[in-house]
Amino acid sequence: MRFDVITLFPELFAPFLACGVTRRAYASGQVQVHLWNPRDHAEGNYRRVDDRPFGGGPGMVMMAEPLARCLAAIRADRAEAEGAQAPLVLFSPVGRRLDHAAVQGWSAGVGAVLLCGRYEGVDQRFIDAHVDVQVSLGDFVLSGGEIAAMALLDAVARLQPGVLHDDDSHQLDSFNPALDGLLDCPHYTRPEQWQGLGVPAPLLSGHHAQIERWRRDQRLLVTARHRPDLLEAARARGQITRADEDLLARSRALL
């Protein structure tokens, strides 16, 4: 799996690729990350990659030609066959919001070219000619696409075999189909008492069925409280049982 990142600030990625549990994916080559600076493909002494927007207004716009040259160099380096090119992804407010299903799709693919925009954005002509997918992290604006690119890389890398200590641990993540798309339950560790607060009794019981029922109940309650849309989606898929509904009804009666 190979990701090529087009960024004006490749130095931002050095600590990200060398730290944390996901570094295993990058160090082993399971997830290859190549960094490309469009300034290396710009003309003139100043290697200019941006200019003022037509029509006036604040800020600058990334120019199409340096990006096109950079993309051509990436395509040549990847030695892609015609019709089998990795998609070019632009991180943009108009894109589909990144979610677990999308991350799973990327994690099972061959990679992509990630374009990190800056300034007021990218010349629309380049977007129309070359961008295949637009992705958003949410309804807010970042100073550049680098953080969004790192978020996608991290989410994809941790799903690769052998990256996490336990290959099955991501199956218990929030939003995972193994949890019916619900939020995860609360977690506790030693000591059993901390500042007068204890650990829920079922977790100390050693009774597997009680522990799993407690965790299921907590996932339902946490999701109902914080993300009722996820609960409704699970209900529409027929994943909420009669016992689940009884618990939710009791919790509503106590409010």
Mark the binding-site residues for S-adenosyl-L-methionine, compressed into ranges.
Answer: 117, 137-142
The reply to whether 192 belongs to the active site is no
Q: Can you tell me the distance from the alpha carbon of 131 to that of 221, in angstroms, rounded to the nearest whole number?
A: 41
8 Å CB contact between 224 and 249: no
CA angle 232, 236, 242 (to 5 degrees): 85
8 Å CB contact between 173 and 167: no
The reply to whether 216 belongs to the active site is no
H or E stretch including 97? Answer: strand 88-97
The reply to whether 66 belongs to the active site is no
- CA separation (Å) from 135 to 35, 96, 188? 19, 5, 35
**Which residue among the candidates 47, 77, 80, 93 is catalytic per the annotation?**
93
Give the number of C-alpha atoms closer than 13 A to the C-alpha of residue 96, restricted to the C-beta side.
9
Q: Could you tell me which residues are beta bridge partners of residue 36?
A: 6
- Which amino acids are annotated as binding site, given as ranges? 117, 137-142
The reply to whether 120 belongs to the active site is yes
**Which residue among the candidates 118, 158, 215, 219 is catalytic per the annotation?**
158
H or E stretch including 3? Answer: strand 2-6
**Which residue among the candidates 24, 65, 154, 173 is catalytic per the annotation?**
173
Q: Can you tell me the distance from the alpha carbon of 60 to that of 151, in angstroms, rounded to the nearest whole number?
A: 25
Positions marked catalytic: 93, 120, 158, 173
